[in-house]
A = this chain, B = another copy of it.
Amino acid sequence: MPPRRQANRNSESVDNYLKAILSLGGVEHRRVTSTALAGHLGVAPASVTNMLQKLASAPTPMVEYERHRGVQLSADGKRRALEIVRHHRLIETFLYEVLDYPIEEVHEEAERLEHFISERFEERIAAKLGHPRIDPHGHSIPTMEGEMTEPNSVPLTEVLQGGTFVIDSVSDRDAHTLRELKASGIRPGAQLRVRKNTPAEGYSVSIGRSSRAVGLSREAAGDIRLVPSTK
């Protein structure tokens, strides 16, 4: 007698691979390398190869994979990845708006819960929040149908001449950095003037009408995205 097959429960690990491929490949489906994935996920490259082979040869393949040529999400994989991103950003918004979390703590909690909430939970928190389209970091929340608008903002590190901008989004990754950004008033919607921005001399900005300069590390600066101020 064959061992009884267990219910096809979505795996947290698989979810994380799909999210990583979406994040590295963008919605334009650029091919993503094993090494890039390994770095992003914090696992060995060999583990990535293994997983990609499984994902590609599953009954409903989640990726298109060719040896030595990287991966892309399949339609099914993209759907699942966007669902997880939607979960993540809705949960972050919910923690921030309804449960009064400090912004730097929402990411870690969402990162765990995003894999386990039901359709009903997703729908209920979305309704409670009035179907938000942007999360507390300024990131766009995919719709239930899996549509996500790409930002037309640019990273602070790629702004070539100084000027006045509005902050579109900040990174959610590192709680420590986020605490510092918060302390400097750097948050989505705030107005920001770029003073200096070269890898060599560093990144320096000021916020709102303040004349005080805020220095930023390369990493922090790269995760701040700006749109030109229309004012």
**Contact partners of A109 in chain B: CB under 8 A:** 117-118, 120-121
Of A22-30, A71-79, A97-105, A146-154, the one touching chain B: A97-105
* A-B contact sample (19 more), CB < 8 A, given A112-B118, A113-B113, A113-B116: A95-B121, A98-B98, A98-B128, A99-B121, A99-B124, A99-B125, A99-B128, A100-B124, A101-B120, A101-B124, A105-B120, A108-B118, A109-B117, A109-B118, A109-B120, A109-B121, A112-B116, A113-B117, A116-B116
**Contact partners of A116 in chain B: CB under 8 A:** 112-113, 116
**Contact partners of A98 in chain B: CB under 8 A:** 98, 128
**How many subunits of this chain does the assembly comprise?**
2
- Give me the interface of A with B, judged by CB distance under 8 Å: 95, 98-101, 105, 108-109, 112-113, 116-118, 120-121, 124-125, 128
**Contact partners of A105 in chain B: CB under 8 A:** 120
Task: For A118, give the chain B residue with the smallest CB separation.
Answer: B109
Tell me, in angstroms, the Cα distance from A66 to B136 when the chains sit together: 52
Closest 9 A/B residue pairs (Cβ): A99-B124, A112-B116, A109-B118, A116-B116, A113-B116, A109-B121, A105-B120, A99-B128, A100-B124
Task: For A125, give the chain B residue with the smallest CB separation.
Answer: B99
**Contact partners of A101 in chain B: CB under 8 A:** 120, 124
**Contact partners of A112 in chain B: CB under 8 A:** 116, 118
Tell me, in angstroms, the Cα distance from A115 to B191 when the chains sit together: 41
Shortest A97–chain B CB gap in Å is 12
Shortest A123–chain B CB gap in Å is 10
**Contact partners of A121 in chain B: CB under 8 A:** 95, 99, 109
**Contact partners of A128 in chain B: CB under 8 A:** 98-99
